[in-house]
Chain A
Amino acid sequence: MSIQKREKNLNFFEKLYIPEIMKGMALTLKSMFRPNVTLQYPEARFEPSSSYRGRPVLVQDNNGVERCVACGLCARVCPALAIEVQASETELEKERYPVKFEINMLRCIFCGFCEEVCPEEAIVMSKDYELVFKKRDDAIFGKDKLLVPVENLKERIEFLRAFK
């Protein structure tokens, strides 16, 4: 091993470190009086913008039925294999509906591909980021947890229409 030459030879005062230490200390002292950036979480909450990708949800139309037709494209495109769809037949005009729609939130990586690929604007990313589970099974969200009325998702849907 050869000894590398220093880029710059330090003079005596620089070798003492002391001026640099002073500078560093001054900096930390200054920052002690700067305002805090902490968000006091349970009391103050982060309000995401409409471009935020929270947990994916199914859009529930005003007639109380999900928009989803269980085409399975989201399940196919999901890189983490988080989505499982079982289709079935319905008397409604859309013919097909998801009798089971499950997202494994432990697998979900919030990439938003499902939303992007959805031909029916039926699955969108919500602003919901609070996901806590006590059991593995709790992390598998069925239709009961996934369906969200369309009014609550207006912002995101408008965002998608503008930018997707």
Chain B
Amino acid sequence: MPTLTVDGIQIEFNQGQTIIEAARAAGIEIPHFCWHPSLSVSGNCRVCLVEIEKMPKLAISCSTYASDGMVVHTKSEKTLQARNAVMEFILINHPLDCPICDEAGECKLQDYAYKHGKGESRFEEMKVRKEKRVQLGPYIKFDGDRCIMCSRCIRFSDEIAKKNQLTFVKRGDKVTVSTFPGESFDNPYTLNTTDICPVGALTNQDFRFKSRVWEMSNTNSVCTGCSRGCSTEIWVRNNEILRLTPRFNQKVNSYWMCDNGRLNTFKHVNAQNRIDGAYIRKEGQLQKVEWEEALKVAVKSLREYKNSEIAFIGSPFATCEDNYALLKFARSLGVSNIDFMNHILPGDQDEILIREDKTPNSLGAELIGLKNSSNGSSLDGIMKSVKEGKIKALFVMEDDIVSANQEYEKIFSKLELLIVNSSNQNETANLADIVFSASTFAEKNGTFVNFQGILQRIRPAVATEEMDRALDGMEMSRWDKFGTDYDRWLKGKKYDAKPSWKIFTMLSAYMEGKLKYDMAEDVFSDIAKSVENFKGLDYDSIGLEGVELKNIKSEARLAGVKNI
């Protein structure tokens, strides 16, 4: 393999790599604004200038190919001088409004100004003022003053989103970013530009001014918007999710996620209609009761039916653990009528990330065995039996099947008993006789299998009543760490919800007690023992990027993310 020397360290590289890529692969960070690993090279910020021996001038490391025997200095006197000069140049027209800017704290320009800047300005003239607060598409605010013309957003919309919507306009120090005339920056991936924008020029309107980035804790999780299952980070302050951001995962989503997943998959966690605790229908009304009472009533009611009169509906929104616990609980009752409902939006799919299967774990639920139970009926069969009065009791977990299929509302009126695990109020829960509040994806441990067969973990980011951030090993912000019970910020709303696997375990405790799980990891190790595709896995081996499950016959698997 060819080698080059960076700051006295010999590094191997692949032919065709640029210096910045080679150095990055070896863990040497060369400052850069316009260069992005997933985007084409534009080379206009000049901050990645490095000194290369035997070259007459400094060269930008992002567009200079590495060659064998090259000697590069990223910290030499000359390089530092050039970098300082570039920083000073970029900062000439950059406003000093970090206190207002949302990017502060995760701003490349801010970081480099600290690391490589001079700390003072020789520029005495008036800064060039440009348009501020420009509505650039439905979710993005653009601040022209802050823009350093790196063109990352333009290249993103061209190359990743495949929509030529953004461009530079004007010249010299008046240059600014704008949409093409008559266009709106409205593709399904626009908000990724707020992530890659090295300054605060493009900001997420949904998150605008909600919190400083250093006040939040961030938890590694998975997006639940579709069966892609993009790796995400959940940003939480005062026990409230404020934003989701994509997390780099080469196998699944690269650096990106879609706007729908980013904006619409977490709002229900802190929505007004969250179900808080257990409910029983008394005199026609759902009334809040103690968990114990609801569990006892549920067990007593279920026992009144023959096992052929009961059916269980799992959920592709729930984790593998939840579905497995449902399966096991149903089997312990001798019930074989088990299935789940797919939520497919035909046609709502593209070549980039978005999948038409709008659930994060349909493959997981399938692999667990919810679809192919040997002698039971499928979903349609179950509904037919309900209609005919053969099935009298139904248990629905974490899925609003009534909203998905309005016919069910009528069918459900035939039911004698409907038990629902649900995180929010919805049409299914409203019909139920007994409701257990279920934790959302942001409140529990668990695993999802995406359409490629990649198993990924979700982790609790929001605490429910039964959880404690410190004791349960959740991510904590500085405020979480040092606050006390008397501090208001720690009194963020905590819901009385439990993960579904726990609800089944508790129900089981009132029956034969076959389910004995203390934590999600116990359920998973049980899955790993009994489900072929999960053999030999545990939470530790899943890691941050997930693992590919064995023996998945999915065409999509090969699709991967080669397009992005």
Q: Which stretch of A18-26, A39-47, A83-91 is in the interface? A: A83-91
Contact B133 A95 (CB under 8 A): yes
Interface membership of B488, Cβ < 8 A:
yes
A69 neighbours in B (Cβ, 8 Å):
99-100
| Residue in B99, B132, B133 with the greatest tally of chain A CB atoms within 10 Å | B99
Within 8 A of A (CB), among B205-226: 208-212, 214-215
Cβ of A101 to closest chain B Cβ, rounded Å: 13
Contact A76 B100 (CB under 8 A): no
| Binary contact track B475-494/A, C-beta < 8 Å → 1, others 0 | 00011001100111100000
Contact A119 B479 (CB under 8 A): no
Within 8 A of A (CB), among B65-117: 98-100, 104
Complex: A113 Cα to B248 Cα, angstroms: 37
A88 neighbours in B (Cβ, 8 Å):
209
Contact B99 A75 (CB under 8 A): no
Cβ of A154 to closest chain B Cβ, rounded Å: 23
Contact B209 A84 (CB under 8 A): no
| Residue in B100, B215, B489 with the greatest tally of chain A CB atoms within 10 Å | B100
Contact B215 A75 (CB under 8 A): yes
A104 neighbours in B (Cβ, 8 Å):
487-488
Q: How many residues of A contact B (CB 8 A)?
A: 22
| Binary contact track B445-489/A, C-beta < 8 Å → 1, others 0 | 000000000000000000000000000000000110011001111
| Binary contact track A15-43/B, C-beta < 8 Å → 1, others 0 | 00000000000000000000000000000
A164 neighbours in B (Cβ, 8 Å):
none
Closest chain A residue to B237, Cβ basis: A86
Cβ of B358 to closest chain A Cβ, rounded Å: 32
B479 neighbours in A (Cβ, 8 Å):
81
Contact A102 B487 (CB under 8 A): no
B482 neighbours in A (Cβ, 8 Å):
81
Closest chain A residue to B205, Cβ basis: A89
Q: A95-B133, A96-B100 are in contact. Are A81 and B209 (CB under 8 A)?
A: no
Contact B487 A81 (CB under 8 A): yes
Interface membership of A148, Cβ < 8 A:
no
Cβ of B346 to closest chain A Cβ, rounded Å: 39
A95 neighbours in B (Cβ, 8 Å):
100, 132-133
A-B contact pairs, 12 of them (CB 8 A): A69-B99, A71-B98, A71-B99, A71-B104, A71-B212, A72-B215, A73-B99, A75-B212, A87-B210, A87-B212, A119-B98, A140-B488
Taking Cβ atoms with an 8 Å cutoff, the residues of A that contact B are 69-73, 75-76, 81, 84, 87-89, 94-96, 102, 104, 107, 119-120, 136, 140
Taking Cβ atoms with an 8 Å cutoff, the residues of B that contact A are 98-100, 104, 132-133, 208-212, 214-215, 478-479, 482-483, 486-489
